Structures are given as C-alpha cells and as structure tokens.
Structure 1
Amino acid sequence: MPAAPKPNDHRPRVAAERRERMRSRLIESAMVVFADKGVGASVIPEVKAEAGVSQGSFYNYFRTNEDLLAAVGDELSGEMVQLIESVVGDISDPALRVATGMRCYLHLARSHRLLARFLAGAGLRLLAQQNAAFRYLPADLEEGQKRGDFADVPLNIVLDMIAGAGLVAIDHMARGRTPKDYPDKIVAAILRSLGVTVDDATRLTGVPLPRLSPASDSLLARAQARAAAQAPTDA
C-alpha cells in the first residue's frame, strides 16, 4: 500500500501544475497547426512536433483530432465570450447588444489573423459543438423580436443566417487585408436582413467600441505570439 503524502509534500501539486502546463502547450500548438493545416487534416504529428512532446506523452492528454479541436474551441470561445461580455454586459437595448456582440466578434477576428484562420476552418464544427460565443445570441434576438426591433422570423433561421454571413466574413478576413470598418459594414448588412432600418443599422454599428485585448496568458495571445515567432522574417 503506498504511503500517504507527507503534509508538506508539494510533489502532487507540482505534478498537477506540470500536467496543466503540458495540456496548455498542446492546445496552444494545436491552434497554430489547425490554423495552418486546416481542421480536416491529421494534425497530431505536427502538434507533437510543435509542442516538443513524445507520442506517449501526447496520448496522455488527447486521443484524436476531434479531441484537440474541441479543446481549442472550448478555450477560445470562453475567452471570446469573456471579452465580448465585458463590453455588452451592461447594455440594456437588445438590438444594440446583438450589434455590439457581433461587431466585437468580427473585430477580434480581423485584428488577430491566426484566430480568423482557425475560425475560418473550424467554424461550422465549432457551431455544431454549441460554441459558447453564440450562447447569449438567441435570447437577445428573441427579446429584440418581442420589442419589434427585428422581424418575426424563426430563431433557427436567423441564427443560421448570422452564422453563415459571419463565417464568410471571417474567411475573407483570414485570406487577406480588409478595411477597418469591414466588420461594421457586415454587421449593418446583417441587421438590415433582420428588418432593421438603414438609419438604425447605421446608428447601432456606429457606437465606438473599446479595444479588445486578450490577456497575455490567454490561449489567443500565446498562440498568436508563437505563430509570430515562427513567421519568416525578411532578409
């Protein structure tokens, strides 16, 4: 029978912290590889090489591509929700909440090319996994419909339309440069398709947004820094 840990034995805590660091490194590496290779590729060999771990160590944490994708998606969407909620949390007008939330989401993708590339490839799969970034949208849309801000269209149709337009916009931003106001124009067009007038769509998308800066220890910031460090430099 193994001896019980001594009261001052820090080894279990140190081991747990080491495991968590390794898992975080694998998720960070997976985001970089998925953004580069796409989510349909078999990325496990590249992720192991990127993270600098052995095959045995890798399989202590993840078994499949889908496991990796789900882990990256969960952590990223949680971070994005936290950033977006810091902006929209105190907004009482549902139409303004919807517009501001969508603008924040797209501006994050535009300002973080790695995020845009990852979402462009993984978007539909992440949506199928109940992406946390869309968690609050149905309630806000329903409240806006009750107030007469939006047309009375079935919510599942509205959500599909928003997701489709958003993913096409993200793919566009992942592939090349776009004007600074591109996310705002996309959201204004989406609002118009929801029955919002031109004047109201312009007003709702003209509200200044704060700069959305992920924390330095966030997955998004870590993966972006790793990708930047690997990018070729001009001679």
Structure 2
Amino acid sequence: MAEAPKPTSRLERRKTRTRQALIDAARTFLARQGMAEVSIQELTEAADVGFGSFYNHFGSKDELFHAAIADVLEEHGQLLDELTADIEDPAEVFAASVRLTGRLVDTHPQIARVLTRTGLPYLDSDKGLAPRALRDIRRAMDAGRFRLGNPYVALAGAGGSLLGFLQLWLEHPDLVDEGSADELAEQLLRMYGMSHQEAHTIAHRPLPARPPRGDV
C-alpha cells in the first residue's frame, strides 16, 4: 500500500502564501505599467509582506516578474485546456483557443494586459497558449485539416495576430468586440488552407461555457 502524503506544515503553507502574494502583486504591476520603475519595496507593500522576506523567495525583481509571467501563462493555458477538453477536431480546438484568447480583454483583463506588455518574448514559451497552439496546429496538419509547411511560421502568425488584436481591444474598445475575435479565428483558418465556408462555420460555432471574469 502506498504511503499517504505527509500534511504540509504550517511554515510551508505560510511560505507558499507569501510567495504567491508576491507573484500576485507583480502581476498587478505588470498589467498596470510593466516592469519599469517598480521597486522591491513597492512590490512587498502591495503584497502586504515584509521587505526582508522578499529574498527568501526570489533572488531579484526580474526573477519575480518572470515567475509572475509564467503564472499568467500557465493560468491562461489551463483555462484553454479546460474549455476545449471535449472538442475532438484539432482545427476547432485551435479556433476555439484563438476565440477565447481574443475575449480575454472582457473575461480576464489582467491576463490580456500582461500578454500585450510581455507577449512577444513568450511566443515560443513552453507555457500558456504557444505550446498548445503548436500542438493543435501539428495535429490539424497531420489530420489534413491545415495545409501548411512550417508549423512554427503558423504559430508566429497566430501569436502576433492575437497580441495585436488584444492591444487593439484594450486601447480602442469601440472598434472591436467578441465577434471580431471570431473573425480573427476565421481569417487564421483561411490562411491555414481552409475554405471560406468551413472556416466561417468553425469560427462561429458555440463556444464552451464562458469562464467567469478574472482579476482586473
């Protein structure tokens, strides 16, 4: 019989809470203003933890911000996995992920702001949308759904388009809406070799239940 895991100690739980509080504070600053001109003092005050405890968890401010970005990417990736788990067609999974990501401005504005401020260096990250989109692109190619040469070029096209779309919605919400996210997905599907009619059909199918709004 396998031995039951030992319960986490009170000290370990407190350290975990402190680390997450610092990450949450960094996420707030990333969404609001990026990494520039934020002091460790400001971060610890926002997290409501002692200044001296910072270096028990992170070696530098940059290390904290990278942990916060990884946290955002993983939250985004898990959200997409949960919402697309029951979709079998890899092309539809890809389209749904694009449509859901495009809606982040409305559903998870903090994630949308962090992605637009820090997104380009993380288009090849092993967390978040990038690895999932690459997986779905490859599966759709193998299934004959996408007619592409290099899946990484397709990933770059999708990632850059999404970042541009999120930036447009954040800065000019009067110009785009949820339907525009569907239009973007349709355009990408057509770019990947689908007919106009099939791309339109897939990009306008009912989405899985919308996630609750996240932090602003």
TM range (shorter): 0.7 to 0.9
Match of 2:121 among 125, 129, 133: 125
**Alignment partner of 1:150 out of 141, 146, 150:** 146
CA positional deviation for 1:158: 0.8
> Which AA in structure 1 matches 2:143?
R
TM-score where L is the length of structure 2: 0.85
The residue correspondences of 1:109-124 to structure 2 (distance < 5 A) are: 109-124=105-120
* Superposition deviation, residue 42 in structure 1: 4.3
Instruction: Tell me which of 177, 185, 188 is aligned to 2:186.
Output: 188
Q: C-alpha distance in 2, partners of 1:149/1:121?
A: 33
- Would you say the 8 A contact 1:35–1:118 is kept in 2? yes
Would the aligned equivalents of 2:123 and 2:156 in 1 still touch at CA under 8 Å?
Answer: no
- Assess if the C-alpha contact under 8 Å between 2:75 and 2:128 holds in 1: no
- 1:93 and 1:27 map into 2 onto residues whose CA distance is 36
User: Which residue in 1 is equivalent to 2:212?
Assistant: 213
User: Offset at 1:25?
Assistant: 0.9
Are residue 31 (structure 1) and residue 27 (structure 2) matched? yes
Match for residue 79 of structure 1? 75
- For structure 2, list consecutive stretches of 5 or more residues without a partner in the other structure: 1-6
Residues 21-48 of structure 1, C-alpha deviations (whole Å, 9 max, x = no match)? 1111111111011111113554534312
Superposition pairs for residues 1-235 of structure 1, below 5 Å? 13-177=9-173, 178-209=176-207, 210-213=209-212, 221=214, 224=215
**Using a 3 Å threshold, how does the CA distance of structure 1 residues 168 and 190 change in structure 2: closer, same or farther?**
same
Identify if the C-alpha distance between structure 1 residues 176 and 46 changes in structure 2 by more than 3 Å, giving closer, same or farther: farther
User: Could you tell me how far apart the structure 2 residues matched to 1:134 and 1:96 are?
Assistant: 16
Name the % identity. Answer: 25
When normalised by structure 1's length, the TM-score is 0.79
Q: Which segments of 5 or more consecutive residues in structure 1 lack a partner in the other structure? A: 1-9, 215-220, 228-235
Query: Closer, same or farther in 2 for the Cα pair 1:147/1:204, shift >3 Å?
Result: same
SS of the residue corresponding to residue 135 of structure 1 reads helix
Structure 1 residue 95: Cα displacement: 1.0
What one-letter code is carried by the residue in structure 1 that aligns with 2:162? G
Displacement after TM superposition at 1:126 (Å)? 2.8
* Preserved contact between residue 70 and residue 126 of structure 1 (Cα < 8 Å): no
RMSD after superposition = 2.2
The amino acid across from 1:60 in the alignment is N
The aligned counterpart of 1:6 is none
SS at match of 1:152: coil
CA distance in 2, matches of 1:163, 1:80: 14
Point out which structure has higher relative CO (alpha carbons under 8 A, 6+ apart).
Answer: 1
Name the larger-Rg structure: 1
Contact 2:77 2:132 in 1 (8 A): no
